[in-house]
Structure 1
Amino acid sequence: MPVEVQGTFVSQKINKIRWIPEEYVETTCFFTGSYDDYENSIKVWTLENSNEDEEIEYPRTLSEFPVAGDITEIKFTEKTRIAVSTSNGDVRLLEVSTYDKETPLREIHKWKNLHNYGSDQCSCSSLDTLDGDVVTIGEDGAIHILNTRRGQVSVSISGADSCSLHSVCFIKHTEVITGNIRGHMKIWDIRSNSNKPAASFLLAGDEMAATCIINHPTQPHIILAGSESGSLAMWDLRVNSFPTSLLNAHAAGVTEMQFHPENPQKLLTCSVSGEVWDWNMQAMTKSTMGTEHQITTWMPLEDQNAMRVNSLMPVLHKPINTLHCNKGKILCGADNEAIYLIKNFKY
């Protein structure tokens, strides 16, 4: 079946969108987080057919949780709990009902003014989660590790960076990687008492912000970063002095990336230039015999013409800020106040 794209106007600029996972049935519910509105909110939606004879599914709002400030990130800490960061420096832990998605979201914890310039507010620009722990970063250059079970701040690195931090990713429980507005990437050992990074390197030659960072689901030593210029950089952290591969990708900044949960050879990216792309990662890996006869997989700089990239929907004239895939369905949220559902994606 060909890929279908269906857009629905929702009267809010969508900054983050996330499918809500289900155990034994195909999920139809998802979260959205808005920005640049008089009152922003996190909404729970469901996809439903308005007519039984139609195959078109329209999103319908089930519940709404008002939030002060713009939503900057939404990540799951458990199957029914999400960590949410906002532009006023707050971080919330919210829970959705397992059985009744129309029940309003419940606030479990709130870390108020976690990121600040003293008495002045500043944005909590991003966060990442790993097994109940949350790492947050902000425009104040600070890093905080939150324990969601106890509702405590377990580690704080207040002067981690002199620049505004844009992106963050857990490498493992004891290590996180951050990217700042000038493209400086730093690895932090959160067990260390020092406020200095364990390693640091540049995203690229020009000073472009690292807009998003993820690691490979099956090879956690491989890190991908999207830049403000639209390029994709890849590192093998075993040799972390420079990107193993740097690909000129989108025409403008990369806003979000996700590996398909069931096929790590599929990478999805969206951008400020209004594009949603599907990358074949198999063409970017090469196996060689290492010194001790082990197989080493790395990202080659050469053979970039072998890259296979598909555009999944017509280019919009507004930024696509977010995407999230679940099996053959991909959700996208954009600045044109619409939600897009891409169906029949082959993974």
Structure 2
Amino acid sequence: MPLDVQGTFVSQKINKIRWIPEEYIEANCFFTGSWDDDVNSIKVWTLESNQEEEDIEYPRPLSEFIVDGDVTEIQFVDSTKIAVSTSNGDVKLLEISVYDKKSPLREIHSWKNLHNFGLDQCSCTSLHILDGDIATIGEDGNVNILNSRRGEISYRIVGADSCSLHSVCFIKHTEVITGNLRGHMKIWDLRTNINKPAASFLLAGDEMAATCILNHPTQPHIILAGSESGSLAVWDLRVNSFPTTLLNAHSAGVTEMQFHPENPHKLFTSSVSGEIWDWNMEGMTKSTQGPDNQITTWLPLEEKNAMMVNSLMPPLHKPINTLHCDKGKIICGTDNEAVYLIKNFKY
């Protein structure tokens, strides 16, 4: 079946969108987080089709949770809990009912003013979660590690950067990587009390912001970073002084990246240029017999022309801020106040 793209006007600029996972079937409900509105919110939606057009599914709102400021990130802590960061420096832990998606989201913890310039508010720009630990970053250049079970701040790096941090990712339980406004990447060892990075390197030579960071689902030493210029950088952290591969991708900044949850060779990227792309990462990998008879997978710079990239829908005239994939369905949120559903994706 061909790809089926459906757009629905939702009257809000969508900054983050996330499927609510189901165990054995394709997801049918999702979260959205809005920005640049008089009143911003986290909404729960379900997809429904009417009798006249059974093939077309329309989002219908089920519940709404009002937040102060813009929603800057939504990440799952587990199948029923999400962590939400906002532009006023807050982080909230919210729970959705397993049985009734119409019931309002319940607040479990709230870390108020987590990121700030003293008395002045500043944005919590992003967060990432690993096994219940939440890493948050902000415009204040600080990094916090939150314990979602106890509602505590378990670790803090004050002044981790002299400028605004834009992206963060757990490498493992004891290490996080951050990217700042000028494209400086830093790895932090959470076992030490030293306020210095364990390693640092540049995204590229043009001092473009690192807008998002992602680690490979099956090779955690491989890190991908999207930049403000639209390029994609790939590192092997075993040799972390420079990107192994630098791909000229979108014509404007990369807003979000996600590997397909069931096929690690499929990567999706969205962009300020209004594009959403599907990358076949198999073209970037090569297996060799290592000295200890182990298969080593690496990403050769010279063969990047072998990359297979498909556009999943015609480019929009407004930024695509966010995307999320579940099995054969991809959903994305945009600045033209619409949600787009892509169905029948072969993975």
Aligned to 1:235: 235
| Aligned counterparts, 1:208-287, within 5 A | 208-287=208-287
Amino acid at match of 1:150: R
Report the CA distance between 1:24 and its aligned residue. Answer: 2.8
Write the deviation string for residues 263-294 of structure 1: whole angstroms up to 9, x where unpaired: 00000000000000000000001112222222
1:190, CA displacement in angstroms? Answer: 0.8
Map of 2:185 onto structure 1: 185
Confirm or deny that 1:169 pairs with 2:166. Answer: no
Alignment gaps of 5+ in structure 2: none
Residue number in structure 2 paired with 1:311: 311
Q: Percent identity?
A: 80
Q: Deviations over 1:53-82 (max 9, x none)?
A: 521000000000000000000000010000
State how far apart, in whole Å, the 2-side matches of 1:34 and 1:53 are.
Answer: 28
- The one-letter code of the counterpart of 1:317 is H
Structure 2 residue identity aligned to 1:273: S
User: What pairs up with 1:42-81 in 2 under 5 angstroms?
Assistant: 42-51=42-51, 54-81=54-81
- Aligned with 1:302: secondary structure? helix
What is the root-mean-square deviation of aligned Cα atoms in Å? 0.7
Pairwise CA distance, 1:136? 0.0
Q: In structure 2, what residue type is equivalent to 1:204?
A: A
Match of 1:325? Answer: 325
Is 2:245–2:304's contact at 8 Å kept on the other side of the alignment? no
Letter in 2 for 1:15: N
Deviations 1:101-134 (A, max 9, x none): 0000000000000000001000000000011110
Matches of 2:50 and 2:259 in 1, distance apart?
Answer: 32
Q: Which residue of 2 aligns with 1:297?
A: 297
State TM-score, norm by structure 2.
0.99
Q: Which runs of 5+ in 1 are unaligned?
A: none
**Residues 23-54 of structure 1, C-alpha deviation per residue, up to 9 Å, x if partnerless?**
23322000000000000000000001122652
Shift of 1:237: 0.4
Contact 2:8–2:339 at 8 Å: present in 1 too? yes
For residue 100 of structure 2, what is the aligned residue in structure 1? 100
SS in 2 for 1:78: coil
Letter in 1 for 2:195: N
Aligned runs of 1:107-186 on 2, under 5 Å? 107-186=107-186
Give the conservation status (yes or no) of the 8 Å contact 2:253–2:271: yes
Q: CA deviation at 1:140?
A: 0.1
CA distance in 2, matches of 1:74, 1:149: 17
Write the letter of the residue equivalent to 1:25.
I
- TM value normalised by structure 1: 0.99
Deviation per CA, 1:269-326, whole angstroms, max 9, x where unpaired?
0000000000000000111222222211111101222110000000001000000000
Query: Secondary structure of the equivalent of 2:266?
Result: strand
